[in-house]
A and B are shown apart, each in its own frame.
Chain A
Amino acid sequence: MSTRRRTTRTARHGAAQCRKILRTLSEYLDNDLPKSVCGEIRKHLGLCPKCEVFVRTLKRTIALCRKADVARLTASDKMKLRKEILAAASRV
């Protein structure tokens, strides 16, 4: 597809269509939308580079969340916490 033709078709989608798509992106990425709607979104993304970048950044954000780890409790902290919990439980 030529650049000129692509630009023209993208513009035809318009900002309203972009905003409509962007409002449903999480459901799209979570496979929570009907197939027909997903097809429409895919079609739009193929024609609208800005929305496509938006989807990719959102996808990466979700992937980062899924992979982000945090520190673990040490064995001694676990024992200490357990002791404190049981002590608190026996006070009541």
Chain B
Amino acid sequence: MPSRPPKHVRDGAAADGKAAAAFDRLYREHVDRMYRFAQRLCGSPDDAKDLVQETFLSAYRSLKDFRGESSVSTWLYTIAAHACQRMRRKRKGEPEHELSLDVLIPTSDGGMPIQIPGADLSPEERLEHKQLRHSLLAAVHKLPKKYRMVLVLRDMEGLSARETGSVMGLTERAVKSRLHRARLFVRHELRGQQPAAVAED
């Protein structure tokens, strides 16, 4: 009959079992949310899967350090935001640039846009409008990273300005400033994307 493993080995196995159970629960409860966030940030399903993998791998390693000072989802968003930055650095994408309000806010009557996306459609009908949805996601993806992250967290994931600031290490003031520029940019990109039938005269 094999001898029983020593106590420290048994304790270690029990701790591993607890960690695995905790991770399984974390993964089960949050993987859908994190994949949705990753897709909105990355734009492609494959990149989103890579980001989800990076995020949960980091979460697995630091699960024991989580003190509950923020909600679990905010903690995961923070991990994902850092993972996203690491992945971008590796790929050496396009350099960041600032969005100027002077460019996004019209200076004369001629520059004042007059169209409204889906003006006479219900929200549900607009969502079914494939072209408009595609244009929206393309516009979001065209945003410089630091603006995209704010817009996705605030307007797509529904975090508050304070939570977004916590995830990105920014003040609420900075979050609001970036968010306004990001919204104006997306709005600007969507001009003319909608069918003429719904454009305002």
Contact = CB atoms under 8 A, between A and B. Distances in A.
Interface of A: 15, 19, 22-23, 25-27, 30, 32, 50, 53-54, 56-58, 60-73, 77-78, 81-82, 84-86, 88-89, 92
A91 B53 CA distance: 14
A29 to B, nearest CB: 9
A89 B60 contact: yes
Contact of A65 (B156, B176, B180): B156
B15 interface: no
Given A15-B107, A53-B114, A81-B31, A61 B176 contact: no
B53 A19 contact: no
Contacts of B105: 19, 22-23
13 contacts: A26-B176, A26-B183, A27-B180, A61-B190, A70-B36, A70-B40, A72-B36, A77-B49, A85-B56, A85-B57, A85-B60, A88-B53, A89-B61
B195 interface: no
B132 A64 contact: yes
Interface stretch (B1-9, B68-76, B86-94, B133-141): B133-141
Contacts of B113: 53-54, 57
B165 to A, nearest CB: 13
A74 B32 CA distance: 10
Contact of B57 (A32, A57, A88): A88
Given A66-B158, A81-B52, A82-B31, 7 more contacts: A61-B183, A64-B132, A68-B133, A70-B137, A73-B35, A73-B52, A82-B27
The 4 closest A-B pairs by CB, nearest first: A26-B180, A65-B155, A61-B187, A70-B39
B186 interface: yes
Interface in B17-64: 20, 23-24, 27, 31-32, 35-36, 39-40, 45, 49, 52-53, 56-57, 60-61
B101 interface: yes
Contacts of A65: 136, 140, 151, 155-156, 183, 186
A25 B60 contact: no
Contacts of A22: 105
A50 B113 CA distance: 8
A69 B112 CA distance: 29
Contacts of B112: 50, 53-54
B108 A15 contact: yes
